[in-house]
Amino acid sequence: MPHTSPRQHIPAPADPVAPARRSAQARAKDAGKHTPAGLPVTSYQDLLGHLSTLSRQTIDFAGQKIDKLTTPTPVQARAFELLSAPIPLELR
């Protein structure tokens, strides 16, 4: 068995059942309720609810039909960007 000098510090092994510690960045994100990009932090269910407000309307103007998509919010635009998918202009 190797001999250790009294000055040598050997750390105790990590406790396998100790609770995980969140990073400073994660704690700051929670405290600020915004991502580093400035978008609000929401739950998955809240995000789906927000995405559902993106709508398409068919406007009948003097006999001509025009499809209009509501302008996406920054959160909606970022969600589609992260999915690498265009915002659908029509339902299929």
pLDDT in tens, 54-71: 888 888 988 998 888 888
* Residue 64 Cα distances to 56, 68, 84, angstroms: 16, 13, 33
Name the phi and psi angles at 59, rounded to 5.
Answer: -105, 130
User: Which whole number is the average pLDDT over 87-92?
Assistant: 70
pLDDT tens by residue, 2-31 = 555 556 776 676 777 778 788 888 887 777
